[in-house]
Amino acid sequence: MRNSPEKRRWALVGTVVIAVGFVATVIWVAFAFISSQAIKTNTLSYRHINDSRVSVTFSVNATPGTALDCSLEALNSVRAQVGYTVVHIPPQTNRLSTHTAEITTQGSAVSGVVRKCEAAQQ
């Protein structure tokens, strides 16, 4: 018993719909992955200004146009936190940007680090 032309046509339409749905899903997942790339940070240097301030220079790798809030810490000789600040970084035009910020400390700091950057809350 042979399939009628109408059944074959519906089978072809069904196959095309499934294929288009699969391709659309793959494209959607790819765009979702690309747009959700993690924000990466790197502490480049720190400078001891005086017993109550340290300067930290750091780089941020983030999607251009994203405003960020970055957490910075000043640490003493036993790696205890002696200072903390959150720095707002306005949207940048390039993926990689470098920034310098000062942290007020409650004691002598021997290092400063960027802990993390997150997309700024509106």
Domain boundaries, the chain: 1-36, 40-119
Of residues 1 and 88, the one with the higher pLDDT is: 88
Average pLDDT over residues 106-115: 92
Average pLDDT, the chain: 88
Q: What was the pLDDT predicted at 47?
A: 93
Architecture of domain 40-119: Sandwich (2.60)
Over residues 15-47, the pLDDT tens digits come to: 888 888 888 888 887 776 665 568 999 999 999
Contacts of 28 (CB under 8 A, 6+ apart): none
SS3 11: helix
Over residues 40-49, the pLDDT tens digits come to: 999 999 999 9
DSSP notation for 20-88: HHHHHHHHHHHHHHHHTPPPEEEEEEEEEEETTEEEEEEEEE--TT--EEEEEEEE-TTS-EEEEEEEE
Is pTM beyond 0.75? Reply is no
